[in-house]
Structure 1
Amino acid sequence: MTKIEEYLQFLKQKGFIFREEELGFISFGQRYSGTNDQQVIAAIEITLKAQKHFDGSYFVALLEQLKGEDITNRKQAFQYAQEKGII
């Protein structure tokens, strides 16, 4: 099980259920942007906090921003999100 799968299981336990379409966006977003598991997990978390639900296009755009800014971990991602007024 990947770290992303573990994180999604954690979210499922908290009541966040992802549909197949949303899981497809997560997989596509990671492949498209060339991001690592930590970047993907941070983007999922920020997306949920900012949008109050999972928005696939928002998630992919956020992943691209994290990649473009060379943000590689959760701490940096949340600092970036706060600086940009995302959360």
Structure 2
Amino acid sequence: MSSKGFHLTDDDIAFIYFGKQYTGACDELVNVAIETTLKIQVRFDGSYYIALLEALEQSGAQNSYEAKRFIQNKELVTNT
């Protein structure tokens, strides 16, 4: 992510792992949640990331394709 101009702090990374544990989300959903959070917020926002991760889990998304489709259907971003 650093190569794309996003620099995550150690606290951000720890929070990402916390969110994964808290929601029980798979790595694919976590990656989509991080990517979407950075696209929309232009920085890592822990509360947005957790809310999005919870929404993805509640939607029943099982992989990145389903997660991105959910995000597009909710019109959070136009092109994930």
Q: For this pair of structures, how many residues does the alignment match?
A: 77
- In structure 2, C-alpha distance between the alignment counterparts of 1:46 and 1:77, rounded to whole Å: 10
**RMSD value, Cα:** 1.0
Structure 2 residue 12 is matched with structure 1 residue 25? no
Deviation at 1:51, TM superposition (A): 1.2
Matches within 5 A, 1:1-87: 11-87=1-77
C-alpha distance in 2, partners of 1:31/1:54? 18
Structure 1, unpaired ranges of 5+: 1-10
Deviates more, 1:50-59 or 1:11-20: 11-20
Instruction: Give the structure-1-normalised TM-score.
Output: 0.81
Tell me the percent identity: 42
The farther-off stretch of 70-79 and 59-68 is 70-79
Structure 2 unmatched runs, 5+: none
**Residue 46 of structure 1, CA deviation:** 0.9
What TM-score, normalized to structure 2? 0.88
TM superposition outliers: structure 1 runs of 4+ over 3 Å: none
Instruction: Give, in angstroms, the shift of residue 21 of structure 1.
Output: 1.6
